[in-house]
Amino acid sequence: MGISATERDGKFCGGGGLPSGLGLEPGDLREQVTVAFDGLQDLASGTQLKLGNAALEITGDCAPCRSMAGYLGEDPKEFVPRAMRKRGMLGVVVASGRVQDGDEVAIMPISEPSDASDTLD
């Protein structure tokens, strides 16, 4: 699967695939990428992930909503609390690339800003 920077918004499910206890199959929540990454739900907005040779930036939690429950044919009053903080994350593509089943997912290191005073005489 190729991920391009033109596909700006994405949804991720983590922690070994789809959250357990929700009774869902891949694609049921319209996620574009499903990853095995413990702690994905706890990553801060702005965190960048390397998948294959593509890079994605997390923009925030994909909170479950009434519309999602309706799409799945579930009662929103039951679905929303059950899926809270288990839905996955939203993100944007920051570097286009190819992602294949089995590719490692890794947090990209934050680059330190260069100190301009080091170059001054």
Report the DSSP beta bridge partners of residue 13. 34
Has residue 111 got a pLDDT over 70?
Answer: no
Q: Give residue 76's pLDDT.
A: 92
Share the mean pLDDT of the chain: 76
Has residue 113 got a pLDDT over 60?
Answer: no
CATH 2.40.160.20 fits 2-19+27-99, yes or no: no
Where do the structural domains in the chain lie, given as residue ranges?
Answer: 2-19+27-99
Q: Give residue 68's pLDDT.
A: 84
**Full 3-state SS string of the chain:** CEECCCCCEEEEECCCCCCCCCCCCCCCCCCCEECCCCCHHHCCCCCEEEECCEEEEEEEECCCCHHHHHHHCCCHHHHHHHHCCCCCEEEEEEECEECCCCCCEEECCCCCCCCHHHHCC
Rounded CA-CA distance 40/9 in Å is: 17
Look up the pTM and report it. Answer: 0.70
